[in-house]
Amino acid sequence: MTSPYQGYVYSYPHKTAYRPLVPRPSLREVWAEEQDQALFLYLHVPFCEMRCGFCNLFTRTGAPASLVTAYLDALERQAAVTREALPEARFAAAAIGGGTPTYLEAGELARLLDIAEEVMGADLRAIPFGVETSPATATPDRLAVLTDRGVTRISIGVQSFVDAEARAAVRPQRRAEVETALAAIRTAGPPVLNLDLIYGIDGQTEASWLHSLDAALAWRPEEMYLYPLYVRPLTGLGMRPGAWDDQRLRLYRTGRDHLLGAGYEQVSMRMFRRRVSSTVPGASPAPAMGSPYDASPASSGSSPYDVSPGSSYDASPGEEYSCQRDGMVGLGCGARSYTERLHYSFEYAVAIRHVRAIIDDYVRLPREEFARANAGFALDAAERRHRHLLQSLLQARGLDRAAYEERFGADVLDDFDLDGYAARGWLECDAERVRLTPEGLAHSDAIGPALFSTRVRELMDTYDHR
């Protein structure tokens, strides 16, 4: 492992391991033997007002209103067919990701939520329900729609409170716009506010990183995500990749220690959650908004996971949902769905022209085309073990050995050779759990990819990137 930044493991297997399914199985067939009483509902909105320089999500910019309407029409067709295949399904958690879901106007957002509730049967007011937003689109009218439907978590991608750093990351925003959006979210009053920040931006220093962290802490977010930049530095930075790795590790440790000192607990390499009774030493209180935004987070869940259901959303679903065990129903052309034995989705792309072509094809699909899975990956017994390991080990709490043995009939240390990580000081074991050490968590983006199966690595290596 020459670099601690091999890749962000947000799902296993990655979509680049998916291949066309031949023959295409019907959704009824896919879900026939699955448990369907505690599923995750994920809605994907593939639109943004701009494409940031670090973004590799399935999204397009500048979508006209006519395309948004056509997209919602197609998503409603997909939802109706999916519900027919899962007539008794019940949802234990829900999320809307993207893209930027709040790219939709308030009325369009309301229609999307109507689809979730009236077509899919999700009781959004009774379950953990998260939505992503951006500084430019977190407007009071949109937020009012979300809070009226019971949103419990709003995640906003700030990335940096320093305007020059935002420009360097090709995210042209001003701090004043960010502060206005945060004030609007706090006024709306969802129980959990999450802020995303990025370290490793061109020109960023430890002092400017601490400045952004303190600006974020002033709003007392219930959750914070610290992401390493995954775009090679601009040539003007004048650093070799190795030096850039060193810089990111230094900034990671600075950010981690700062949040731990401010009363947050580390959930994974990226995720930090404010302890209910914590204060923020040295930080100014957030402006009074007239809403109880110091409320404790929503149900923290059996696995608030980095290996997330889709896009960039990292959920904190309720205790009823287990990411290792329970399935997800994804709606929208960039969403994935998964059962215990099959993960499936539509085509995947990052390049702008390919993304646009896939969206254009999606909105024209007739109803019957949504009744079958298109591309995917079938998980045999060995792959299910790999997935359980990754879904658990990359969390600070680690892997429950008894739960693993109950599910698979073997001890995880017999199934996987983890001695090398222990020898490096990255992993520790006791009778109950296998977990990463603090230094191991710092190297999560190297450990995760290294634990992929040979089959998945070969498929990813031979994927035709578009």
Torsion of CA 397, 324, 326, 131, to 10 degrees: 60
Tell me which DSSP letter residue 194 carries: E
In a domain, residue 9? The reply is: no
Range of the structural domain that residue 108 is part of: 15-338
- Please answer whether residues 173 and 138 qualify as being in contact, where contact means their C-beta atoms are separated by less than 8 angstroms: no
- 396 and 332 housed in the same domain: no
Same domain, 323 and 387: no
Check residue 255 and give its pLDDT.
Answer: 98
Q: Does residue 283 sit in the same domain as residue 413?
A: no
73 and 147 assigned to the same domain: yes
Among the candidates 307, 338, 369, a domain finishes at: 338
Sites in the chain below the pLDDT cut of 50: 232-240, 280-318
Residue 155 within any structural domain of the chain: yes
Place of tokens 């590799």: 56
Residues whose CB is less than 8 angstroms from the CB of residue 62 and which lie 6 or more positions away in sequence, other chains included: none
Distance, in Å, from the CA atom of 44 to the CA atom of 58, rounded to the nearest integer, reads 10
Pairing of strands 271-274, 264-266: antiparallel
| Nearest to 80, CA basis, from 45, 123, 119 | 119
Would you say 410 and 54 are in contact if contact means Cβ atoms under 8 Å apart? no
Token digits of residue 446: 């190297």
H or E segment to which residue 86 belongs: none
Backbone phi, psi, residue 213, to 5° = -60, -45
Q: Among 338, 373, 399, give the residue marking a domain's end.
A: 338
pLDDT of residue 59: 66
In sequence order, which residues have a C-beta less than 8 Å from that of residue 257 and are 6 or more positions away? Answer: none
Number of domains in the chain: 2
Q: Tell me how far apart the alpha carbons of residues 141 and 86 are, in angstroms, rounded to a whole number.
A: 33
Q: Pick from 338, 367, 390: which residue ends a domain?
A: 338
325 & 391 share domain: no
Residue 441 dihedral angles phi and psi, to the nearest 5°: -60, -40
Domain harbouring 61, CATH code:
3.80.30.20
Q: Look up residue 121 and give its two tokens.
A: 């049967």
Tell me whether strands 153-159 and 129-133 are parallel, antiparallel or unpaired: parallel
Helices (H), 134-288: 140-148, 163-168, 175-188, 206-217, 241-261
Got the DSSP string for 86-126? STT--EEEEEEEES-GGGS-HHHHHHHHHIIIIIT---GGG
Q: Are residues 247 and 385 both part of a single domain? A: no
Distance CA(124)–CA(108), nearest Å, equals 17
Say what the pLDDT of residue 51 is: 62
Q: Are residues 21 and 163 in the same domain?
A: yes
- Per-residue confidence (pLDDT) for residue 238, from 0 to 100: 38
Mark whether 283 and 431 lie in a shared domain.
Answer: no
pTM: 0.88
pLDDT at 236: 35
- For residue 401, the domain's CATH number is 1.10.10.920
Q: In 10 A of CB 268, how many CB atoms?
A: 20
> Is residue 156 within 8 Å of 133, Cβ to Cβ?
yes
Q: Are residues 329 and 393 in the same domain?
A: no
In a domain, 124, yes or no: yes
Is 434 found in the same domain as 296? no
- Kindly state whether residue 5 falls inside one of the protein's structural domains: no
pLDDT tens-digit readout, 141-183:
999 999 999 999 999 999 999 999 988 887 778 999 999 999 9
Residue 364 falls within a domain, yes or no? Answer: no
* Residue 123 shares a structural domain with residue 217: yes
Are 72 and 157 found together in one domain?
Answer: yes
Can you give 239-270 as a three-state secondary structure string?
CCHHHHHHHHHHHHHHHHHHHHHCCEEECECC
